[in-house]
Amino acid sequence: MSDGEFSTPVRVYIEDTDAGGIVYYVNYLKFMERARTEMMRSLGFGKNYIFNHDLMFVVTDVAVHYSRPATLDDQLLATARIQRLRGASMVMQQRVLRGAEVLAAGEISIACVDRGGVKPRRLPADMAARLRALQSA
């Protein structure tokens, strides 16, 4: 992590591509999801933490700009950076890169909800504190 931006490597497999041999647009969202998941895991908020705190995260809004295509066997980097953090939600700035070249960039809004009723709930205090520290980095 540098400057509050988390990154994780992603390899393009054949199932990620469309009939034209380029990464199908929706798969960039999957790559971004992996970056968010791995960022949370790196902070100590993996699956067990999430389940034990009876919460989950849901995407409420997505805006993505696609600049360049990725192709089979490309080695990519998916990134995640917290742009805004509120009591029960966050906005992430995310990118998918091939080297220094930005292939896709997006803003993803995420809400924290309780698992039972799927209603908004505040982020646990320890999670909010770590996310704020990352945001400030």
Q: What is the CATH number of the domain that holds 96?
A: 3.10.129.10
Global pTM value: 0.93
Answer for the pair 127, 120: CB distance below 8 angstroms, yes or no: no
Please report whether residue 1 resides in a domain: no
The torsion angle over the Cα atoms of residues 57, 61, 65 and 71, rounded to 10 degrees, is 40
Q: What is the span of the domain harbouring residue 65?
A: 6-136
CA–CA distance, 93 with 3 (Å, rounded to integer): 13
| Catalytic residue status for 61 | no
Nearest to 120 by CA among 92, 88, 91, 90: 88
How many distinct structural domains can be found in the chain? Answer: 1
The active-site residue, picked from 3, 16, 18, 74, is 18
16 three-state secondary structure: helix
Q: Convert the pLDDT of each residue in 26-76 to its tens digit.
A: 999 999 999 999 999 999 999 999 999 999 999 999 999 999 999 999 999
The torsion angle over the Cα atoms of residues 1, 87, 126 and 93, rounded to 10 degrees, is -10
